[in-house]
Amino acid sequence: MVLKLYNTLSREKEPLPDQKKIRLFVCGPTVYDYLHIGNARTYLFFDFFAKYLRARGYDVEYLENITDVDDKIIARAMTDGKDTAAVARSFTETFLADMKALGVNAVTTYAPATDFISQIIAQVERLIDKGFAYKIDGDGWYFDIAKDPDYGKLSGRTAAQAEDGVSRIDDSVGKRNKGDFCLWKFSQTSLTDLEPRWPSALGDGRPGWHIEDTAISEFYFGPQYEIHGGGVDLKFPHHEAEIAQQESASGLVPFVKLWMHTGALTMDGKKMSKSAGNFLTIRDFLKAHPPEVLRWITLTHHYRSPLDYSEEAVTQAKNELERIYGGIHNLAWAVDDALRITKGSNKEESEIAPLERLKGQFEEALADDLNTSKAFAALREIIFGDYGHFKERLELLKEMDGFLGLGFNKPIEGFSRELNAKIAEKFEEYKLSRANKQFIQSDALRKELKGLGYEVRDTEEGSVIVKKFF
């Protein structure tokens, strides 16, 4: 089944390039603070995406830069009265620790910009030699967007609208066009102690934001590669600038075949961002909830759609995930041939397993621009469907979790025949005492089961028992 992905550049769904090796670059964070769960949405998605491609047999090289030199880091160092490099170092460490805690581990290489200063300088020099860059005295080297006839092709903006309504545009009174951006910033005497600087024939200074990424990707991937990803907020000016820089420097088009953008995570309807003060850090989230909850919230929404985070969304995710874990636990229980306690699970196995059909539906949905919400409808049926084949279903779920990362093994870990037999026995006693209206006894059994991590629910169709995971 051909995998089709929405390409922001062509504005169409396109098949993934027909080759085994896929080079994927995703914009990493600017390390001036703890990361928030909006950043996490983007990294959780690309973690899933890279693992999914690998599960389909692609050889994915996943590269992510770390912006460890930037105005925001200098500003943070000033506020904290710390050395700029120390600020960047400590927030790089917290970023990597957060990724680990979230189970984000598909990245092949993390590349901090300050390790690539000579490559950055060389790329700026090439742009100067080819006439794409000009110098503003006392300020830095700038890219002249008027020299690039293709400028604006990703975002659909013209040079004249280049800086309307977006943040992180480089300000300078000496710019030729208002959308021109800084490639190399000269050292400012006012920032002497805090501003990182590198000696260079360009003039002592530091890199602009956009050039870091193209110098790094060119170093690892060369001037052209398959996929570039990031949050939709980076489409303009950042990704537009990357295209302008790399295509102008190399003369090769396209720089990247497929551009993928994740929708913004909002909280109470407003985009989560540090600058707006509207954010929840990954650490604070993980103090209160397991990582699978954020992954579930991320994956149950289509990656390009906006996603509104709220306490209700967390409660709903926990309920759904717990139901899923319960379903998987019951599959394991059925395989174990202990008492089958879920409704319908004691039916004879059907002759024709719908498992292949469901697997096909799941794969088809993902192949259509990663329609995870549609795929999850099939996933639910794989777990809860009433058609036997427990062992095959468990194996399939385990395989799927290799890229979903939703902890499907949790309900099976520590699975014990003895404990299950005991639970089953207590549950049977519970149902009997209830049928006999011995409510004191049934209440005591309910409490006992609760202490063992199980909850009894009395439904219209009879009592059911579920394992509690949260």
Binding residues for ligand AMP (CB under 6 A): 27, 29-30, 38-39, 41-42, 230-231, 233-234, 262, 264-265, 271-273
- Smallest distance from the beta carbon of 328 to ligand AMP, in angstroms? 29
Q: Which is nearer to ligand AMP, 31 or 383 (CB)?
A: 31
CA-atom Rg of the chain in angstroms: 27
CA distances for 430 relative to 204, 446, 457, angstroms: 78, 7, 11
- Chain position whose Cβ is nearest to ligand AMP: 231
Q: Which is nearer to ligand AMP, 180 or 233 (CB)?
A: 233
* Among 188, 212, 208, 186, CA closest to 199: 186
- Smallest distance from the beta carbon of 272 to ligand AMP, in angstroms? 4
- Smallest distance from the beta carbon of 273 to ligand AMP, in angstroms? 6
- Smallest distance from the beta carbon of 419 to ligand AMP, in angstroms? 42
Give the β-pairing of 205-207 and 225-231: unpaired
- Smallest distance from the beta carbon of 413 to ligand AMP, in angstroms? 32
CB 28 within 8 A of CB 91: no
Q: Which is nearer to ligand AMP, 264 or 328 (CB)?
A: 264
- Smallest distance from the beta carbon of 201 to ligand AMP, in angstroms? 29
- Smallest distance from the beta carbon of 244 to ligand AMP, in angstroms? 19
Q: Which is nearer to ligand AMP, 30 or 330 (CB)?
A: 30
Question: DSSP string spanning 98-123?
Answer: HHHHHT----SEEEEGGGGHHHHHHH
Q: Which is nearer to ligand AMP, 92 or 248 (CB)?
A: 92
Structure tokens at 387: 């058609």
CB 120 within 8 A of CB 207: yes
CB 160 within 8 A of CB 171: no
CB 303 within 8 A of CB 45: yes
Residue 191: how many other CB atoms lie within 10 Å? 15
Residue type at 454 in one-letter notation: Y
Q: Which is nearer to ligand AMP, 37 or 445 (CB)?
A: 37
Start-to-end CA span in the chain (Å): 37
Angle between helices 37-55 and 84-102 (to 10 degrees): 50
Q: Which is nearer to ligand AMP, 3 or 40 (CB)?
A: 40
Q: Which is nearer to ligand AMP, 210 or 446 (CB)?
A: 210
- Smallest distance from the beta carbon of 29 to ligand AMP, in angstroms? 4
Q: Which is nearer to ligand AMP, 59 or 93 (CB)?
A: 93
CB 210 within 8 A of CB 242: yes
CB 218 within 8 A of CB 246: yes
Q: How many helices (H) and strands (E) does the chain have?
A: 14, 16
Q: Which is nearer to ligand AMP, 5 or 445 (CB)?
A: 5
Would you give the DSSP letter of residue 235? I
Q: Which is nearer to ligand AMP, 29 or 388 (CB)?
A: 29
- Smallest distance from the beta carbon of 114 to ligand AMP, in angstroms? 16
- Strand runs (DSSP E) across 1-118, as ranges? 4-7, 12-15, 21-26, 59-66, 109-112
- Smallest distance from the beta carbon of 26 to ligand AMP, in angstroms? 7
CA distances for 32 relative to 80, 122, 264, 275, 381, angstroms: 11, 26, 20, 11, 44
- Smallest distance from the beta carbon of 449 to ligand AMP, in angstroms? 41
Cβ neighbourhood burial of 394 (10 Å; 0-12, 13-18, 19+):
buried
Q: Which is nearer to ligand AMP, 95 or 362 (CB)?
A: 95
**CA–CA separation, 251 and 198 (whole Å):** 28
Residue type at 375 in one-letter notation: A
Residue 159: how many other CB atoms lie within 10 Å? 16
Q: For the chain, how are helix, strand and coil distributed in percent, rounded to 5?
A: 45, 20, 35
- Smallest distance from the beta carbon of 412 to ligand AMP, in angstroms? 32
